[in-house]
Amino acid sequence: MDLYYLNISPPCWAVMMVGRELGVSFNLKEISPTTDDPLFKEIVKFNPQRQVPTLVDGNLAIGESRAMLRYLMAAYSGSEDHPLYPKDPKARAVVESRLDFDLGMLYPRIYNYLSPLWKLKTEGTEANRVKMIEALDFLEEFLSRTRFAAGDRLTIADISMVTALTLAYVCKFDLSKYPKIDAWYSACKKEIKAYEEVIGSQFEGLRAFVFGK
């Protein structure tokens, strides 16, 4: 199973960490941030979106990280109920809801506000800051009710969302008004088996990329 990835890409981190939780071995194909990397030509064959991560498993190619997480759980978690992606319809519905919240609000709003730091060497707009704050407020509220995002146990929703929050920490965004988020992030660091290997090892590299050091 091939995984085309960028080592400082939060969505790529999520796929790699879920793979580690399941004991899945990827044939890792690391792509350079520059578009002249020949691996981009390979990606186009599988994924017209030309984005990372791209997962290729036999004749299946997937180009969205959260779809990859769902696929990995369905295909490689075994027949038993798995706490990362519970089979109970109600429990799974909460996980799905949080994944959709991450896809539609949390990650894009964090990215949209913070990405000018490395693209333009300036802060994001006030409008985008307000939108990011709203998303963080929602997450803080979720976490005021349960230890993790979708309940009292770690799920793939947490693994996906922790990569979004890593971007905020990397960019030195002030999260002091979010004690629940901070406690949750610390818990995720301990619970996710490959956190240090996947995120911890790239944290300073991504910060250097963001701030041009």
Would you name the residues annotated as active-site residues? 9
Q: Rounded to 5 degrees, what are φ and ψ at 62?
A: -125, 140
Q: Which two tokens stand for residue 119?
A: 């693209």
- Burial pattern 70-100, b for ≥16 Cβ within 10 A else e, equals bbbbeebbeeeebebbbeeeebeebbbebbe
Q: Which two tokens stand for residue 171?
A: 């960019």
Gap between the Cα atoms of 171 and 140, Å rounded: 19
Q: Rounded to 5 degrees, what are φ and ψ at 74?
A: -70, -40
Name the nearest CA neighbour of 206 among 158, 165, 160, 174: 165
**What Cα–Cα distance (Å) separates residue 89 from each residue in 55, 152, 166?**
27, 16, 30
How many Cβ atoms are within 10 Å of 134's Cβ, its own excluded? 11
Name the nearest CA neighbour of 157 among 103, 76, 195: 103
Check residue 98 and give left, alpha or beta (phi > 0: left; psi -120 to 50: alpha).
alpha
